[in-house]
């Protein structure tokens, strides 16, 4: 099958979230799956003539988190998988589409869609997540440095935890824990990322709380905004580190004056 994104898929874009612990959002995300069923070759050519613009415009919407439209082995059938931040974002998409060239030109083509509410799920990364993690980190941090850091931590076998948030086959968040050298077992929390269009929903908070649960009795060190991380029990840390300063914080028991060393990969950023 040929996807409108330009990729070839054996059975369409990957939709399996792989299980995991659900994240309770203030309001559910909206997912749409289904088919366009063309009656004849003329309708198929109409789709082919307008599909790329429709995909591009849909993906550009502020509340759109996923939009995949691909052709079946039967060329008269097109499959669709969409994800929106919330009900308002889905409503905005429907309004824009109804008034678009795509909406007018394809109005007579049969649709068979299933709309459902979804919540993200947290689970450890799988090998198939690695490229999406790179893309997410680049988008969240506006550059490649954090993606390179995670790749190096993985290559050095220094990823104590690589946790992802997934909804309707779309990777929306990621968090990494790596070992810190100290006078007791400790962990570094970095990076933490949420897709820019999914920020403010609580996905980052869920990732951080899950990481602290995973750490157990091990102290966790983070370099970040104290106003944000204090809500999770982090406090300013007087530690001997190249990153010492007001943004260096710890959750757990790590005495003042302790010398710490992050994993070697951190020296590359």
pLDDT at 90 over 70: yes
Structure confidence at residue 248 (pLDDT): 97
Terminal alpha carbon distance of the chain: 40
Give the tens place of pLDDT for each residue, 169-184: 999 999 999 999 999 9
Q: Which of 18-27, 33-42, 242-251 has the lowest mean pLDDT?
A: 18-27
pLDDT at 238 over 80: yes
> In percent, how much of the chain has pLDDT > 90?
92
- Residue 217 gets which letter from DSSP? T
What angle is formed at CA 12 by the lines to CA 9 and CA 13, rounded to 5 degrees? Answer: 95
From CA 210, how far away is CA 206, in angstroms rounded? 6
pLDDT at 129 over 70: yes
Give the tens place of pLDDT for each residue, 41-79: 999 999 999 999 999 999 999 999 999 999 999 999 999
- CB 117: neighbour CB atoms within 10 A? 12
Do 158 and 178 meet the contact criterion of CB atoms below 8 Å apart? yes
DSSP H/E element including 93: helix 87-98
Mind listing the domains of the chain with CATH numbers? Answer: 21-118 (3.30.70.100), 121-268 (3.40.630.30)
pLDDT at 14 over 60: no
Q: What mean pLDDT comes out for the span 155-172?
A: 97
Structure confidence at residue 19 (pLDDT): 73
Number of DSSP helices (H) and strands (E) in the chain, helices first? 7, 12
Structure confidence at residue 239 (pLDDT): 96
Give the tens place of pLDDT for each residue, 177-216: 999 999 999 999 999 999 999 999 999 999 999 999 999 9
DSSP H/E element including 192: strand 186-194
Q: What mean pLDDT comes out for the span 132-156?
A: 97
pLDDT at 151 over 90: yes
10 Å CB burial of residue 10 (0-12, 13-18, 19+) is exposed
pTM for the structure as a whole: 0.90
For all residues of the chain together, what is the average pLDDT?
93
């Amino acid at each position: 099958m040929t996807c409108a994104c330009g990729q070839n898929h054996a059975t369409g874009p990957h939709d399996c979230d792989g299980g995991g612990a659900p994240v309770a959002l203030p309001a559910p995300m909206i997912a749409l799956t289904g088919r366009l069923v063309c009656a004849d070759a003329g309708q198929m050519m109409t789709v082919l003539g307008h599909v790329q613009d429709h995909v591009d415009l849909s993906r550009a919407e502020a509340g759109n988190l996923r939009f995949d439209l691909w052709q079946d082995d039967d060329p008269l059938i097109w499959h669709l998988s969409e994800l929106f931040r919330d009900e308002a974002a889905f409503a905005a998409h429907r309004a824009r589409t109804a008034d678009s060239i795509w909406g007018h030109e394809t109005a007579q083509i049969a649709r068979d869609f299933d709309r459902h509410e979804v919540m993200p799920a947290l689970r450890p990364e799988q090998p198939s997540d690695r490229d999406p993690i790179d893309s997410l980190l680049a988008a969240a941090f506006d550059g490649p440095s954090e993606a390179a850091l995670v790749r190096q931590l993985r290559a050095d076998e220094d990823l104590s935890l690589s946790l992802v948030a997934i909804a309707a086959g779309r990777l929306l968040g990621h968090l990494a824990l790596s070992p810190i050298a100290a006078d007791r077992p400790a962990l570094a929390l970095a990076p933490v990322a949420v897709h820019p269009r999914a920020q403010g929903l609580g996905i980052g908070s869920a990732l951080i709380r899950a990481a602290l649960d995973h750490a157990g009795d091990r102290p966790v060190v983070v370099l970040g905004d104290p106003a944000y991380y204090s809500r999770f029990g982090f406090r300013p840390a007087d530690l001997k580190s190249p990153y010492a300063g007001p943004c260096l914080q710890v959750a757990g028991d790590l005495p003042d004056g302790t010398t710490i060393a992050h994993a070697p990969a951190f020296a590359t950023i």
